[in-house]
Structure 1
Amino acid sequence: MLRAALRFGFGTASLFAGGWVLRALQGTPASLGATPADIAAVANRSPQFRDGAFVNLEPAATMSLDAEARRLLLRELVTVGNGRPGAPIPVVEPARIDGDAAGLAAYWHGHSSVLVEVDGYRVLTDPIWSRRCSPSRNVGPERMHEPPVALERLPAVDAIVISHDHYDHLDMDTILGLARTQRAPFVVPLGVGAHLRVWGIAEHRIVELDWNESHRLGDLTLVCTPARHFSGRLFTRNTTLWSSWAIKGPKNRVFFGGDTGYTRSFADTADAHGPFDLTLMPIGAYHPAWPDIHMNPEEAVRAHRDVTDAGAGMLVPIHWGTFRLAPHPWAEPVERLLTAAEAQGVQVAIPRPGQRIERDASMIDPWWQL
């Protein structure tokens, strides 16, 4: 509930009147990250940064409800019973985790955290291993399943890629853990590096990119590509950039959608950096109140077709099943995804958390029907 209040502004004044938000945040200021002043020097170099804020290529409303409707939506988030699974989510201990990286494979660790293997390289996306996605360890959306593998058990990765600075994508405790257990750089959109610097991450491990800028690691290229979303870790918004990512090896290409609404720029990304062989598309936390910043399952299929060769390749859904961030039923995103994908001839794999996905290994075992 705290994350919903902070992210979408539900009843902020009334919540502070009760004082519970201040109590929840007590002792956790570090997790808030950098201030706008800390971020400004990097942000100012971007053509996407205008009048003190980053902007989308296409206008996007983050919320279209009045105060009363927001209160009703917050109540729905708290009270709707089918927003959680009816039994424990089956988690799989990852196989082959210590072997050589494959040409194309992925492990979904939950939400938007994916360990991707591309042509012998490993890339970890939006890692969050904490119990809550919140500035507080005491309040906020709680995991509905444990991480499939302990953070320190992850194999060595070549890059850690972040899509934006919302708490369910940029988690301070996980970042600090990875700083201790990994040697890879953190490759982030403009401004997000300021959060990492506040948390003590060494400058040489931070790579900040604007849209359409790239970073090369041997034969692997990481391209910061546009998304349609917003950013912010408390009351200021859009002082850091948000993005999707093109992960390009010599033979295989992966598109990581991060957190985004549908945008016409997907087709431009495909023209510049595709077509992609594997897509990691967000399918959850949608609602009519914020149609521009989160895709629904049908839009995810459309986006997959935009960035692949006429829908070829495999779609792996992300941004669902781990945290409850919208009032839709828990399994609805994958059920709708399968229906839309079948109609469009798109191959889908829906792994259990931790399960390895390889090229053309479609997984449609309905494990989510709990």
Structure 2
Amino acid sequence: MKNKRLFVRMLAGTVGLGVLTTFILAGIVSCAGYDAFGAKPSNSRLAQIEHSPQWHDGQFVNPQPQWQNGLGAWRDFLFGDSVKGAVPEEPVPTVKPNPALLSSPSQSGLRVTWFGHSSLLVQLADKNILIDPLWGKRFSPISFAGPAPWYPPGIELKDLPPVDAVLISHDHYDHLDYATVMALKSGATRFIVPPGVGAHLESWGIAENRIIELDWWQSVALGEVTITATPARHKSGRFFGQANKTLWAGYALSSTKNRVWYSGDTGFHNDLATIGERLGPFDLTLIDAGQYDANWPDTHLGPELAVLAHRLVRGKKMMPVHWGLIQEARHPWTEPAERVIAAARCQKVSVLIPRPGESIEPSLTAATERWWPHQRWHSAKEHPVIATENGDPDRRVVAPTCSSI
């Protein structure tokens, strides 16, 4: 009887999900939201990506397959208890960026401003580089559904210093924001993206000569700054039929004085130590540490493996990103920061967590003050998130253990 009731609930949930999907699709078409879908690579662009070492049988694939507990994820989504503290109950403490400060040279040659999630301004040497910028009002193809930010960036794009380049890690809506791209359309800013993502940009009117596609380990020089795409373990796609037709990547940024590594969205993978050997050490790492779930442990690092990744790439100071702006997973919104701090204490890693909108120079910033509220969160022992080694749930990554986490 119990199993029968569960079946009925799941069937009802599936039917309801189908109705919801139909409603959303109708809304997308009626609102002309399909523009945000972008375009599949074709013609010369498709011919180019077919030569990528990551391209197999008509799509990009991870060298280490990903595993997910699809049934468990749907069960939690449809029938799981609500997560207390998943969204802020009070306004998130933010800093209004100072345009005059951002337009002035940094003292150390490296200044970083975090706008929440993975949206960043990296000012390295004399270059102003936006990473996965989010200036839109909803990170979705439609205006009435999908993740909406808890607060605005605090500064208009036009008030930033001239942006030399925009780095896009992959084409998911919370990293490639249509509204932000359109706001940057009229300028001369270059877009540095993984293979295939350029097709989206071209369909939105970005000139081909402003788009640079980098496969893993490929580099481009912007004056004194060199940008290298690095491997990641993730996936891509903006609509049905687009899954994994574009690649995903992280980026290493280096000048004569400083080096920064941005992980992009990624699960734990075997190339992390190689990134450190070939491109490190890094003065600062910007690492995917939020929006994780035990049902899909290979999609995002999670806090503990983010700290381990920082060590493997030979980072000096770590800034956790991919948290603090929107809800995409079933954990309290402050939990990534708490668990990163606990794991960093265990692994003797220096962590910087600036307030959204706050600018820091890593070499001149010994520590940052706690700004997020105290609330209940789950430790790594309570809710472990441990990646698989090669897509097999019975073989997991061995992560450092510590009684405090």
TM normalised by structure 2 equals: 0.83
Alignment partner of 1:56 out of 58, 62, 67:
62
How many equivalent pairs are there? 353
Unaligned runs of 5+ in 1: 1-10
Query: Alpha carbon RMSD of aligned pairs, Å?
Result: 1.9
Separation (CA, whole Å) in 1 of partners of 2:355 and 2:50: 42
Change (3 A) 1:265 1:49: same
1:125 and 2:131 matched: yes
- Asked if structure 2 preserves the Cα contact closer than 8 Å seen for 1:24 and 1:139, the reply is no
The one-letter code sitting in structure 1 at the alignment partner of 2:243 is: R
Residue number in structure 1 paired with 2:372: 368
Q: CA deviation at 1:24?
A: 3.1
Partner SS for 1:304: helix
CA displacement 1:215-272 (0-9 Å, x = unmatched): 1111111101100101011123110000000101112110011111111201111111
- Asked if structure 2 preserves the Cα contact closer than 8 Å seen for 1:94 and 1:354, the reply is yes
Alignment partner of 2:166 out of 160, 167, 173:
160
- Asked if structure 2 preserves the Cα contact closer than 8 Å seen for 1:259 and 1:282, the reply is yes
1:242 and 2:248 matched: yes
Unaligned runs of 5+ in 2: 1-12, 375-405
Residue number in structure 2 paired with 1:328: 331
Residue number in structure 1 paired with 2:386: none
Partner SS for 2:114: strand
Residue number in structure 2 paired with 1:184: 189
Alignment partner of 2:95 out of 82, 92, 96:
92
- Asked if structure 1 preserves the Cα contact closer than 8 Å seen for 2:185 and 2:205, the reply is no
Residue number in structure 1 paired with 2:220: 215
- Asked if structure 2 preserves the Cα contact closer than 8 Å seen for 1:43 and 1:239, the reply is no
TM normalised by structure 1 equals: 0.91
The one-letter code sitting in structure 2 at the alignment partner of 1:112 is: S
1:206 and 2:211 matched: yes
Change (3 A) 1:174 1:329: same
Q: CA deviation at 1:155?
A: 1.1
The one-letter code sitting in structure 2 at the alignment partner of 1:30 is: D
Change (3 A) 1:32 1:77: farther
- Asked if structure 2 preserves the Cα contact closer than 8 Å seen for 1:261 and 1:295, the reply is yes
Alignment partner of 2:147 out of 141, 144, 153:
141
CA displacement 1:324-369 (0-9 Å, x = unmatched): 0001011111000001111111111111111011124144422111
Residue number in structure 2 paired with 1:256: 262
The one-letter code sitting in structure 1 at the alignment partner of 2:57 is: D
Q: Which has the larger radius of gyration?
A: 2
Separation (CA, whole Å) in 2 of partners of 1:334 and 1:298: 11
CA displacement 1:64-114 (0-9 Å, x = unmatched): 222xx3333224789333101221001111231221255112000111011
Residue number in structure 1 paired with 2:198: 193
Alignment partner of 2:291 out of 279, 282, 285:
285
Partner SS for 1:40: helix
